[in-house]
Amino acid sequence: MPPKKESQKPKVIEHLYDLYKQGEIPDGIVTSKHIIEAIGATNAVLGKMNPANFVKDVIRSENANKIWPESLKKKRVSARQRYGGTRVFQFVPYVEGQDEPFPDRFLPNEKTHIHTVQSASMSYVARRLGRKEETWLTQIVVNLRLIESQLAIFSPVLRSRVRDVAHLQMGMKTQPEIDAVFLATFAGTKKTKPEAVFHMLITCEAKQLGQRILEDQIKEQVAKAMYITRKLKAPKIDAVKPVAVKIVKHEFNTGVEKAIHIVEFEHIVREKYKSEWTNNPGSEEQLYSMPLDLASDTIYRIMPPISGLNA
């Protein structure tokens, strides 16, 4: 078997970082034009037709830390995707306590719940026609009511208050795209009056096996959800709850199987978002200071198997 070709991207990334330090890339935000020019300047054997995806395949991979240039690791420099216009990514310094360019903070651990769900409610033909795509993963999540299960069974604060959860849309074509959107209704608390009703928009990001949960991407999804629902009055959206779903390998008592890992983050209340994390002119990085805190996570074992997932 021939040896695997070394990626050409690290030398292009290093070149772009040098340009940034020389003051030629303001704010460290790399555009499609910068990437095309850098590929030419470094004679890298890379395509120039889709520069928007240049860093996406690096950042979203579980091998991101291995691919990232060693010189930038030593300088404690990482990157995040940026959306809108021709922006592609931005060089950013490590935050306090960070020891690798792309930490994976939401992997399953000993505290992760394990839950088996049936897939017999999906037709046999549908289960056999499954594909290895985010849209199919999202369809499984919707059809098997996994978001509803997560909130009703495992959400530590909200499970006693949940009234209903409704799937609204698949593949919302925003920047960044949101793979699925749900609306959840909750009863109030003793402090806010039990008869009160609160509405949360739930954003769902789907990841295939071998892909990372991208925190900055999820923060951007929260910001987009806040923006597109800002004028809704009936119902008024009080908060946004981000959720990530990802295919993982897990060792059950019968062996290793692919399963669905659902990560529920703490919800972001609209009023606090507006006062603390909305990007304003002159404070374009404010959103990225918004914390993503884990509320609960569960590995869902799907039986019988579904093509594209665990068959």
- For the chain, the structural domain boundaries read 9-93, 113-303
Residues forming a β-bridge with 78: 92
Cβ pair 307, 129 in contact under 8 A: yes
pTM: predicted TM-score of the whole model, two decimal places: 0.92
* Structure tokens belonging to residue 110: 């000993």
* pLDDT by 10s per residue, the chain, length 311: 444 456 899 999 999 999 999 999 989 999 999 999 999 999 999 999 889 889 888 899 999 999 999 999 999 999 999 988 899 999 999 999 999 999 999 999 999 999 999 999 999 999 999 988 999 999 999 999 999 999 999 999 899 999 999 999 999 999 899 999 999 999 987 776 767 899 999 999 999 999 999 999 999 999 999 999 999 998 999 999 999 999 999 999 999 999 999 999 999 999 999 999 986 655 568 899 999 999 999 999 999 999 999 88
Residues forming a β-bridge with 262: 245, 298
Cβ pair 256, 199 in contact under 8 A: no
pLDDT (0 to 100) of residue 190: 72
Cβ pair 32, 41 in contact under 8 A: no
Question: 123 by DSSP, 3-state: which?
Answer: coil
Contacting residues for 34 by C-beta, under 8 A, at least 6 apart: 16, 19, 25, 88
pLDDT (0 to 100) of residue 209: 95
Q: What is the DSSP letter of 135?
A: H
Compute the distance between CA of residue 90 and CA of residue 248 in angstroms, rounded to an integer. Answer: 28
Q: How many Cβ atoms sit within 10 Å of the Cβ of residue 82?
A: 22
Cβ pair 294, 265 in contact under 8 A: yes
Compute the distance between CA of residue 40 and CA of residue 200 in angstroms, rounded to an integer. Answer: 47
pLDDT (0 to 100) of residue 311: 84
Question: Given strand 87-93, what is the order of strands in its sheet?
Answer: 29-31, 87-93, 77-81
Q: Nearest to residue 218, comparing CAs of 230, 207, 231?
A: 207
Q: How many Cβ atoms sit within 10 Å of the Cβ of residue 70?
A: 10
H or E stretch covering 299? strand 294-303
pLDDT (0 to 100) of residue 122: 95
Only one residue has tokens 């399953």, namely 108
Q: How many Cβ atoms sit within 10 Å of the Cβ of residue 259?
A: 23
